[in-house]
Structure 1
């Protein structure tokens, strides 16, 4: 069988630390091409990982590959994705899907017209805790999900490298970079929920006002810090469920915390603690969930799902319309904070 030719778009840490070594584990594919606007950087990565072709332009890559993995800064997700899909090239695009819901709409439109598939890399769905929790919820153990609590919190870990604090290129900070992962996971676990109203507040004083800041992830210039470092939000969904959400790069807390709890009509579940609570026959019980017996990493499972969808008509675990809902919430949180009011979300 001829191998699936994959091109890597962007030669940064997410490409070298995750996608290239993961996809190189599969015999069905060849990570054959790489492109970066910094040609020397692309050449270094190509040499390190044995990638045969370093492309001078993105267009050159699209002429030669079957699929691309887009690992660029957020601003380029939409145009690069649309360009690939217009050439019937399959796309795995790093999160977030795009900078706006309008860009997401354009990406979905290109996907609908294309023979290529579009996967947005919300990899938390492939974690063993998420897989186990999804099974419990889909079995109806907690009933209908009603109240969702989400925290994606880091203690003094502002990414001090690259363009993470550049609003024009990234679109935001802790919310669009980190919090989006747990937003996506919580909504996926809760089922087919669509956001209808968002009230949010964004902050950046933890980083911008602290020129002597202690930061574990490198140095950054506080005077030019443009993005959010802490965000809170309340989200209403179309099925009367609601979500309390908080995320931060730089919180003054004891330790990092990732937390999702979902309270339903019959019980509740704490995703990362792997426990669920029920009340029946006069008894309240707390049950520890057995881990899914899965030896592969979430990175491997995500890549496998993408490859199987292309080669064997499997179903993508992350659908573009779901990723668009995450982007709608992100967009509404930023707008709500700027206008100091709740924002209604339209769903087609």
Structure 2
């Protein structure tokens, strides 16, 4: 079997900590062929560290030499790079979120359909052990019809003080588009890729704009901070499911919290930690797993699914249309806050 030739676009933290190491573990199926970055010296250094043979200062030249690319750039460049790659006949795994706007997502999907190539988005929480177990139980009808989801992705004081995470021009937002997007995607996937129909949201950044911040993840300028650090939303879906959603980089809470809880007609479940909750046999029963199969590092099964999809052996677990819905909700939350009204979705 011929190996898939993989190109890396953007050689920063997420490329070096997740994607490149995962592909190295799949060396029988994929060859790390080349790396491109607008900072050529940074690309050269990454290539040296990971023994990647080719470095490019022209992304079009990279497209001509590879079968697939993994896009690890700031959000602003996702759509253009993905569109160019697909038009060039190259499969794409793009870091989350899919794009800055729904219109950009639509352009990416149009290029995907025209090219016949694969476009998947790196929502790696779907590949964690606990969510995969929860998905299996839901599909086996253990909780009946999902009705209410409660989703929290909260950090106490962890605004990323590095990279471009607080740069609205390059990222499009803050805690919601960076962190909360994972939990929107995960919960919507668990509920059967439910279609959102109405969104009401509020965003905050008061804590991060106050002087002398206590922050565990580096420093940032409170005077120029202009993205959200805390977001709440209420989301309705077409299958009569509702979601209570909250995410934050900077909240005055006792400790960080990641929680996805889904109540259904016949039972409910918590994802972190994994637990099934039912009323049976005249009792209230909470069931936990003694052992759950899967990888400790979700980056590996994510990479394997993309590689196998490109090779025609699997279907992508994260499909572009599903990732578009996440971006649609994010866009609606921001619009709801700015207009002071709920947003109806097509």
Q: Is TM-score (shorter-chain normalized) higher than 0.5? A: yes
1:193 alignment counterpart: 194
Q: CA deviation at 1:67?
A: 0.5
CA distance in 1, matches of 2:169, 2:342: 24
Superposed CA offset, 1:269-308 (max 9, x none): 0111211111234332111134432246211100000011
CA distance in 1, matches of 2:341, 2:296: 44
Q: Contact 1:147–1:263 at 8 Å: present in 2 too?
A: yes
CA distance in 2, matches of 1:152, 1:294: 22
2:109 alignment counterpart: 108
Matched, 1:87 2:88: yes
Q: CA deviation at 1:252?
A: 1.4
Partner SS state of residue 24, structure 1: helix
Q: CA deviation at 1:233?
A: 0.3
Q: CA deviation at 1:123?
A: 0.3
TM-score, normalising length: structure 2: 0.98
CA distance in 1, matches of 2:207, 2:3: 49
Q: 1:308 to 1:296 in 2, by over 3 A?
A: farther
CA distance in 1, matches of 2:70, 2:133: 27
1:42 alignment counterpart: 43
Q: Contact 1:128–1:291 at 8 Å: present in 2 too?
A: no
2:133 alignment counterpart: 132
Q: 1:287 to 1:308 in 2, by over 3 A?
A: same
1:60 alignment counterpart: 61
2:310 alignment counterpart: 310
CA distance in 2, matches of 1:341, 1:289: 42
CA distance in 1, matches of 2:25, 2:275: 33
Superposed CA offset, 1:164-217 (max 9, x none): 111111000000000000110001011131000000000011101x22001111
CA distance in 1, matches of 2:295, 2:170: 37
Aligned residues: 345
Q: Contact 1:235–1:242 at 8 Å: present in 2 too?
A: yes
Q: CA deviation at 1:155?
A: 1.3
CA distance in 1, matches of 2:270, 2:20: 33
Q: For structure 2, which runs of at least 5 residues remain unmatched after alignment?
A: none
RMSD of aligned C-alpha atoms? Answer: 1.1
Q: For structure 1, which runs of at least 5 residues remain unmatched after alignment?
A: none
2:252 alignment counterpart: 252
CA distance in 1, matches of 2:24, 2:248: 33
CA distance in 1, matches of 2:185, 2:230: 18
Q: CA deviation at 1:32?
A: 1.3
Q: CA deviation at 1:58?
A: 0.8
CA distance in 2, matches of 1:167, 1:312: 38
1:211 alignment counterpart: 211
CA distance in 1, matches of 2:323, 2:126: 12
Partner SS state of residue 99, structure 1: coil
Q: Contact 1:129–1:291 at 8 Å: present in 2 too?
A: no
Superposed CA offset, 1:77-97 (max 9, x none): 000001001111000000000
